[in-house]
Amino acid sequence: MSSFLKIENVDKIFTHGSATTKVLENINLRVEKGQFVSIIGHSGCGKSTLLNIVAGLLTATSGGVILEEREVNEPGPDRAVVFQNHSLLPWLSSYDNVRLAVNKVFRKTETRVKRHERTMRMLDLVQMTHAKDKRPGEISGGMKQRVGIARALAMEPKVLLLDEPFGALDALTRAHLQDQVMALQAKLGATVIMITHDVDEAVLLSDRIVMMTNGPRATIGEVLPVPLPRPRDRIQLAVDPIYLECRRRVLQFLYERHSYIEAA
C-alpha cells in the first residue's frame, strides 16, 4: 500500500561562493493520511529546511517528495504552512487575512457567499470570530497564530506544515494553542507535520516523532511511535507511563546520543 506522503532519498546542499554545505543527507520518511508527525532536533539540524522542501519552497539537491503519487516541486494550496512568525498582512483584518487565502483557492469554484461562509467557519474553528475586524497589531501573539492557522486550514490543504508555530508564545498561551490544534486535527482528520524544539509538545501532539541527528549532513536518527490514545489530556499524561517513556526516549536521543555542541 502506497503512503500518503513520501520523502525519498532527500539530500540538500547549500552553496555560498566556493563553499558548499550538505545540510541534509539521505532523508527517507513515510507519512500516512491523518497522522500527526513531529520533527525534533537541535538547532542547525535542517528541520526547517526539510519542511520547506515538503512545502515546495526549496528544491532538494537530490531525491524528492511525493504527495499522493505526485512529485512536489513548487508551492501549492495542497500544502499550507504556518510559521513561528504569524506572517499576517498588517493592514488587513483577521477576516481579510483568512479571506485572502479562501479567494486564492476557491474564487473560481465558490460564490462570494460561500467564500464568506468558509472564512467565518475557519475563524470560528479557532475561536476568533469576535476579533474578525481587528488587525494584527490589535490582537495578541496567540490570537495572531490562531488567525494564521485559520488561514492555512481555509485552503483545505492535504498537509498542514507547522514550523515551530508556538515557539514565540508564553507557556500558557502555547498550551492553549496546543490543545486547540489537537482538537482541530481530530475534528478535521488533517495530516500534520510539525517542527519543534519542545520534547513535551512533540510527545503530547504526535503519532510519531522523527528525531534528527546533528548537522551538517543531518539525517533521521530514529522514528519513535507515540502509542497514546486520543483524545489526550495533558494533566493525565503527566503521570502516564507511556508518555513518560516516550519523553525519556526523546531526551535520551537528544541529550545523550546526539548532544548539541556549540561552535566556539
C-alpha closest to that of 230 among 240, 219, 215, 245: 240
What residue segments make up the domains of the chain, in order of their start? 5-78+157-257
Cell numbers 531526551 label which residue?
251
Q: Summarize pLDDT for 54-96 with one digit per residue, the tens.
A: 999 999 999 999 999 999 989 999 999 998 877 899 999 999 9
pLDDT of residue 74: 92
pLDDT of residue 3: 84
Strand locations in 68-114 (E) = 70-72, 79-82
Query: 5-78+157-257 sits in which CATH class?
Result: alpha beta
Phi, then psi, of 224 in degrees rounded to 5: -105, 115
For the whole model, what pTM was predicted?
A: 0.91
% of residues, the chain, pLDDT over 90: 76
Cell numbers at 164, concatenated: 515551530
> What confidence tier does 258 reach under pLDDT thresholds 50, 70, 90?
low
C-alpha closest to that of 118 among 153, 93, 145: 153
pLDDT of residue 172: 87
